Structure 1
């Protein structure tokens, strides 16, 4: 006889307990506090309910693969004094996320279903949703809906810590319509596998909220042995504005071995141009991103590096120190940041 699952999550405002039995719907033992009016917490509770449902589904249907991992970051940023446009106080922060994944194996007909729910936790006890999506289809085509990131046209490699925004200017990386939008935005992507080496992705972002981006993002990836080429465009319209923010990005990746890869990227949007080069060799990763706009103040160059060590000899546990150094254009001072990330897959 299968035992019931009793999951208790410690969150701001108390302990939320979710219990379920195989074949039964999850039952919540605590209701959200209406006096708080905490939208983020309501969303996190919803995501936790999804997590419990996935647990139950896994037990009731053995063909569903279930996994999760935790990521905890301790981050330091240096002090930058005014009148620099990127002035900030020195700070030490703690944050992280919990990621839950559910996948069904591909059937004999090639059909599959995938889903992910990722929760962000903060030092003040608040929480939010990072990823929350479902993807389904077959070996020929699939559809992805929810809060997710589309094809990466400007891969950063081992991006444990990369400060690309300096003084309000950030290197363009063909990322305006890539994803992880708020609740007021619809995001979907159709994927087409046109052969073993060619994948086409057609992304659509739609919203009516002023100041937010919407539009169409087609992208394509071609793989030939260890070489992967990507290219795509963004047809962007900012709601409430007449101007369009169209851009494009291309990248090439070369896989030297299972855990060693080199990425090169280029992106352009109007007067903004960006280049990036990075590499991962085993546990080490490093890279540089340079972006430049129309004025002397619109400039940002970021150098970053990270290295992962096994943590206490425990399988799936790693600790990764990382550094980021950024130099901006006229009116800015140099930015330095450091991070220690703890990963545990369970």
Structure 2
């Protein structure tokens, strides 16, 4: 039985899109997509603690990357995840959530979705609801298209809105350099720009509900050199139209012998594929010096999905126990 003050810590990965093909605008205002996700070594961490002293409801605090712009009410995906699980399991929605963010907000890497995935698993373990991974994935799909993948991790094909997942066979480790922007891009705005470009005559291919063959072959072989030319994103032209500096990042990567690169999802994060750690360091230095990115990360993929990690020591002098920034909201 979980006692007041006990906590569970879960980490879930951010993602990049190795392929993102976008279908026509549907009557419901959405686009069907075919996406190939890869989880990379950028992790969001959610601590779920059972409140003490009769406190009820969901409280949330945030620290780290983009904490100041992360909502602290029921629009926060992690809060919505806790409330949804409590409703489905028939348990009181009493939990203190503490989120440590490392993924950019509105950066096309699914950081908010990783928060939701981590919160689902953390609250399931804290409350002892006994939800299966399949049930958590189903709930995740109700919260957002990228949430199921943050639970599963690895490399996967996503259909529909991107939430119907099939694992993609692959081998090896891939090295990426991420160029982050200091301002996010609105996903709806990027899709609207995509629709405008298509209406103006930009090519729009019919969706093939499978992993593009060159991409699948490169992943199976663990061949980074073959993977680079196979990267594709139908939203890239729209994102670069709205934020021309993204194309300059891609050009710089090409000038430094990158194997390939693309805007991740709806942007503005740019993911550049390189041969190894040495090449990643060289490109990261060049990107930092260029001033084209507010932050540069060297990461690898694929990595695992959401999983529990050991809580940090409870001593108040431990550096990981510094108070989170920002206010704490209570949602009942």
| TM-score, normalising length: structure 1 | 0.29
Structure with greater helix percent: 2
| Larger Rg computed on CA atoms | 1
Higher RCO by CA contacts (8 Å cutoff, separation 6 or greater): 2
Structure with greater strand percent: 1
